[in-house]
Amino acid sequence: MALVLHAGKTNKNAHKALIAAEYSGVDVKLAENFEMGVTNKTPEFLKMNPIGKVPVLETPDGPIFESNAIARYVTRLVADNPLYGSSLIDYAHIEQWMDFAATEIDASISRWLYPRLGFQLYLPPAEEAAISALKRALGALNLHLASNTYLVGHSVTLADIILTCNLYPGFAHIMTKSFTSEFPHVERYFWTMINQPNVKKVVGEVKQAEVVVPIAKKPSPPKEPAKTKAKEEPKKEVKEKEPAKPKAEPAADEEEAPKPKPKNPLDLLPPSKMILDDWKRLYSNTKTNFREVAIKGFWEMYDPEGYSLWFCNYKYNNENTVSFVTLNKVGGFLQRMDLARKYAFGKMLVIGSEPPYKVQGLWLFRGQEIPQFVIDECYDMELYEWTKVDISDEAQKERVSQMIEDCEPFEGEALLDAKCFNYDEQNLQTIYQHCVEEGQIVMVEWMNILSTDVWFWYNRRSHVDASIFVRPPMIIRKRCRSPSRIIIPATEPWDAAAISVVSVIIMASNAYDTAT
Ligand SMILES: N[C@@H](CCC(=O)N[C@@H](CS)C(=O)NCC(=O)O)C(=O)O
């Protein structure tokens, strides 16, 4: 009779036992109708595993929890199972690599991935520490695998099964090719293992992440046991992430009668002659002769009474030892500044051709101070030293110009990257993911989102349907052709200055597809 394993079918910890069972010819079946967040909260389940986590294996002698213990049990059901090696020293080495997989690989991948998925608080220094620890572990593993096909001996053992299951979420979500290419033997090993028929049968096709999974905006609140069918394992479960599904129709929160938002104190400042959107548009649209057009235009528009300029310098530059971690850190900061999009423009430079990289930036804020709501709500602010620009000092003014134009070399150094806080790149990702899923790909070649003004170019000849979700809750839908510019109408009781675009979905428009 088959042993019953309680877990969802995409659970990488459950895969350990299922793969071991395939190799060993042991009959293990997943429990039918298992629902993460529901089944594992029932009194019957808690009797099997008091912590309420999965997987749990039911055996004739009682239940077992902890995935490695389950996999060991399944393996030991077969006498002299080669998955356990053939000597005492093999056995010790298998245990050694299983512990290594749990404490050095799984732990570091989890500390990198889970905050990004919103399951834990995202803190850039913690992410950096997790990545360093993972690189150290992968370096050691790479060295071992340089002269060994498998971890122990000359064939697959339980250690390989456990390690592969632990590497899987890393390869699938965060360890892109540019990250793993530093560890070619680990790459070779992982793909060899994943393509073993007994592994493939359980795990299915695996694709390496093309981008590091983006940071979820806020940690997910702990989920109550779902009343309706839970489609996915909500916590710690790592499976191919479903692309964020933008709502086709206004969702509950968008349909609610909009409550007037208290005015931002910055809206109460005396009007400024500088129109931030005009500057953002000039910046984005200037493709040549930048100094003469955009920079000159900036100083003509700049209103030192209505706006202030600030230099920022990351306080922990000596920790910026990994290029893409540094870039991610800056990307995360810009995402979190989203709340200031109507009141700010920024440039963030990552300076240097080798580590440690310096992160320095320039920000234009409405008003004479850094807005208090930004300091309160964006924790990155305190990771930087802020210095107000004195525009009567020509040298400082020139530095501002150079930062805006990504002048290189900058203060004698190359630029690793220059990011601009202007329009929302994150939204573009949502658009692509959604359209790919729907099979209605519209390649948006260029998009610029200003607060009340959305411009885009795409590569189809036919019409598209653009849905623009804005805050305060409102959706603007428009059928349009490339290139398109959609101006969001100001509606009572808000004025245009209070509107911000939260996402834009561009879908192929079926009605017009064949007509053009
Ligand atoms: N060390 C445990 C980890 C188990 C675990 O964290 N399971 C997750 C799913 S992968 C879970 O059940 N989470 C539900 C919860 O935290 O309530 C094992 O290897 O079995």
Q: What is the pLDDT of residues 193-249, one digit of tens each?
A: 999 999 999 999 999 998 888 887 644 444 444 333 333 334 444 443 333 333 333
> Which atom of ligand 1 lies nearest, measured to the CA of 65?
20
Residue nearest to ligand 1 atom 19, measured at CA: 67
pLDDT band at 459 (very low <50, low <70, confident <90, very high): low
Please calculate the CA angle 10-426-475 and round it to the nearest 5 degrees.
Answer: 100
> Helix 67-76 vs helix 12-24: angle between axes, to the nearest 10 degrees?
10
pLDDT band at 136 (very low <50, low <70, confident <90, very high): very high
132 and 319 in contact (C-beta within 8 Å)?
Answer: no
Residue nearest to ligand 1 atom 11, measured at CA: 53
SS3 of 146-188: the string is: HCCCCCCCCCCCHHHHHHHHHHHHHHHHHCCHHHHCCCHHHHH
> Which atom of ligand 1 lies nearest, measured to the CA of 12?
10
For the chain, the average pLDDT equals 83
DSSP labels, 300-334: HH--TTTEEEEEEEETTGGG--SHHHHHHHHHHHH
Please calculate the CA angle 314-320-322 and round it to the nearest 5 degrees.
Answer: 150
Q: Which residue has the higher pLDDT, 434 or 175?
A: 175
pLDDT value for 451: 63
For residue 416, CA distances in Å to 180, 349, 379, 386 come to 20, 8, 24, 22
Tokens of 457: 């170019």
In whole angstroms, what separates CA 477 from the centre of its chain? 28
501 and 451 in contact (C-beta within 8 Å)?
Answer: yes
CA distance 81 to 18: 15
The average pLDDT across 254-274 equals 68
pLDDT value for 361: 97
Measured in Å, residue 248 CA sits from the centre of ligand 1 at 33
When mean pLDDT is compared over 99-103, 177-181, 464-468, 479-483, the highest value belongs to: 99-103
Classify residue 326 by burial, with Cβ atoms within 10 Å: 0-12, 13-18, 19+: buried
pLDDT band at 128 (very low <50, low <70, confident <90, very high): confident
Strand partners for 58: 4, 63
Residue nearest to ligand 1 atom 10, measured at CA: 237
pLDDT value for 245: 35
Taking 3-state DSSP, the helix, strand and coil percentages for the chain, each rounded to the nearest 5, stand at 45, 20, 40
The average pLDDT across 384-406 equals 96
pLDDT band at 493 (very low <50, low <70, confident <90, very high): low
pLDDT value for 498: 62
| Mutation pick for ligand 1 pocket among 113, 236, 237 (CB with most ligand atoms within 8 Å) | 236
Q: Which residues sit with their C-beta closer than 6 Å to ligand 1? A: 11, 13, 52-55, 66-67, 233, 235-237
Measured in Å, residue 433 CA sits from the centre of ligand 1 at 28
Measured in Å, residue 158 CA sits from the centre of ligand 1 at 20
pLDDT value for 52: 95
Classify residue 78 by burial, with Cβ atoms within 10 Å: 0-12, 13-18, 19+: middle
Answer whether residue 393 shows pLDDT above 90. Answer: yes
Measured in Å, residue 327 CA sits from the centre of ligand 1 at 31
Measured in Å, residue 236 CA sits from the centre of ligand 1 at 6
Residue nearest to ligand 1 atom 3, measured at CA: 66
Residue nearest to ligand 1 atom 15, measured at CA: 53
Residue nearest to ligand 1 atom 17, measured at CA: 53
The average pLDDT across 116-143 equals 88
The average pLDDT across 130-155 equals 94
The average pLDDT across 62-67 equals 98
> Which atom of ligand 1 lies nearest, measured to the CA of 55?
20
Of 277-281, 342-346, 492-496, least confident by mean pLDDT is 492-496
Q: Which helix (H) or strand (E) holds 424?
A: none
pLDDT value for 215: 81
pLDDT value for 392: 96
> Which atom of ligand 1 lies nearest, measured to the CA of 68?
19
CA distance 388 to 307: 11
| Mutation pick for ligand 1 pocket among 30, 46, 54 (CB with most ligand atoms within 8 Å) | 54
CA distance 360 to 348: 6
Measured in Å, residue 417 CA sits from the centre of ligand 1 at 39
When mean pLDDT is compared over 45-54, 109-118, 339-348, the highest value belongs to: 45-54
CA distance 241 to 118: 12
Measured in Å, residue 52 CA sits from the centre of ligand 1 at 8
pLDDT value for 492: 54
Reported as a single tens digit per residue, the pLDDT across 414-430 is 998 888 887 554 444 44
Measured in Å, residue 145 CA sits from the centre of ligand 1 at 29
Q: Which residue has the tokens 């390989």?
A: 160
Measured in Å, residue 11 CA sits from the centre of ligand 1 at 9
Closest CA to 409 of 351, 493, 343, 363: 351
> Helix 124-146 vs helix 107-117: angle between axes, to the nearest 10 degrees?
140
CA distance 154 to 322: 35
> Which atom of ligand 1 lies nearest, measured to the CA of 237?
10
Cis status of the peptide bond prior to 225, with omega within 30 of 0 = no
pLDDT value for 480: 85
Measured in Å, residue 170 CA sits from the centre of ligand 1 at 17
Reported as a single tens digit per residue, the pLDDT across 354-387 is 999 999 999 999 999 999 999 988 888 989 999 9
Measured in Å, residue 205 CA sits from the centre of ligand 1 at 23
Closest CA to 464 of 489, 433, 435: 435
pLDDT band at 3 (very low <50, low <70, confident <90, very high): very high
Q: Which residue has the higher pLDDT, 282 or 362?
A: 362
User: Strands across the sheet with 344-351, in order?
Assistant: 384-388, 307-314, 358-366, 344-351, 415-421
Answer whether residue 457 shows pLDDT above 50. Answer: yes
Measured in Å, residue 286 CA sits from the centre of ligand 1 at 52
The residue type at 287: K
Measured in Å, residue 89 CA sits from the centre of ligand 1 at 30
Measured in Å, residue 206 CA sits from the centre of ligand 1 at 22
Answer whether residue 99 shows pLDDT above 80. Answer: yes
Cβ-proximal residues to 46 (8 Å cutoff; 6+ apart), any chain: 52
The residue type at 226: A
pLDDT value for 495: 55
pLDDT band at 178 (very low <50, low <70, confident <90, very high): confident
φ, ψ dihedrals at 70, nearest 5°: -65, -45
In whole angstroms, what separates CA 455 from the centre of its chain? 25
Q: Which domains does the chain possess?
A: 3-76 (3.40.30.10), 82-203 (1.20.1050.10), 265-422 (3.30.70.1010), 426-513 (no CATH)
CA distance 335 to 331: 6
pLDDT value for 481: 83
Q: Which residue has the tokens 């979820």?
A: 216
pLDDT value for 249: 30
Closest CA to 456 of 471, 439, 478: 478
pLDDT value for 477: 83
First CA to last CA across the chain, in angstroms?
61
| Mutation pick for ligand 1 pocket among 12, 34, 223, 235 (CB with most ligand atoms within 8 Å) | 235
pLDDT value for 365: 97
418 and 347 in contact (C-beta within 8 Å)?
Answer: yes
Q: Which residue has the tokens 């971890």?
A: 151
CA distance 488 to 45: 52
Closest CA to 243 of 214, 284, 218, 285: 214
